[in-house]
Amino acid sequence: MNKPIEADTSTPHLSDIQAIRERARQHISAGAVTPSYDANREVVLKLLNEALATELVCVLRYRRHYYMADGVLAEAVKKEFLEHSNEEQEHADLIAERIIQLGGEPNFDPAGLTSRSHAEYKAGVSLEDMIVEDLVAERIAIESYREMVDYIGKHDSSTRRMLERILGVEEQHAEELASMLKGVHALSRSPGFAAKPAEL
């Protein structure tokens, strides 16, 4: 008669617990960066500071559009500009916190902000211009975040999850802006619609 197979109660996916405890006591000033962190930390910090600059530029651009949007079509769009600005600030805060966790310094220096940012600061003149510039910036952010996620891969799961979360919001922003742009086009070209030249 065959001997019953016993269940494997070991945890081969984890290092020896005592070894983990010993490593945790070494280099404690490194905070969240433990010896098992195998991403290139300097590259990750550089990418995160570029992402931080991108978010800050987007905060400022959306804020300007919120205050400058005017006309009969602008009221609903202004609310979206403000909401997007607030969400971009939340992203900047998340990124800055992660930079600190990785032992870096978030770069909030206004000098060179636009050169560090992937997205441009384009003011836009008309409401349509503003929506277009915000949509272009969101599409740039989406491409940038996708590339960062691919680069980081499994080497830094916490940073990757944060970037994926931000990416999802940026995709939502892009969809909302594309919808707004269609709405503004349709309304501004409808028969009997009269708008001041500065609005369109």
- What pLDDT was estimated at residue 22? 64
The pair of structure tokens assigned to 12 is: 């081969």
The type of residue at 23 is R
Where do the domains of the chain lie? 39-190
Q: Which CATH class is domain 39-190?
A: mainly alpha
Q: Within 10 Å of residue 52's Cβ, how many Cβ atoms?
A: 24
Q: What spatial distance separates the first Cα and last Cα of the chain, rounded to whole Å? A: 86
Q: How far apart are CA 105 and CA 31, in angstroms?
A: 14
Written as one letter, the residue type at 106 is: P
Alpha helix segments (H runs only) across the chain: 17-25, 41-68, 74-101, 113-116, 127-152, 157-188
- For residue 95, give both structure tokens: 């990124």
Q: What is the mean pLDDT of each run of 10 residues along the chain (200 residues)?
A: 54 56 54 65 93 97 94 86 97 97 95 93 89 94 94 92 97 94 72 46
Query: Residue 71: which region, alpha, beta or left (left: phi > 0; alpha: psi -120 to 50)?
Result: left
Length of the chain, in residues: 200
Instruction: Please give the Cα distance from 67 to 88 (Å, whole number).
Output: 17
Cβ atoms of 51 and 164 closer than 8 Å:
no
Average pLDDT along the chain: 83
- The pLDDT tens digits of the residues spanning 112-137 come to 999 999 999 998 888 999 999 999 99
pTM over 0.85: no
Instruction: Round to whole Å and give the CA distance between 143 and 155.
Output: 20
Asked whether the beta carbons of 126 and 198 are under 8 A apart, the reply is yes
Q: In this structure, what token pair is assigned to residue 152?
A: 């980081």
Q: Are 145 and 166 in contact (CB under 8 A)?
A: yes
The DSSP code for 11 is: -
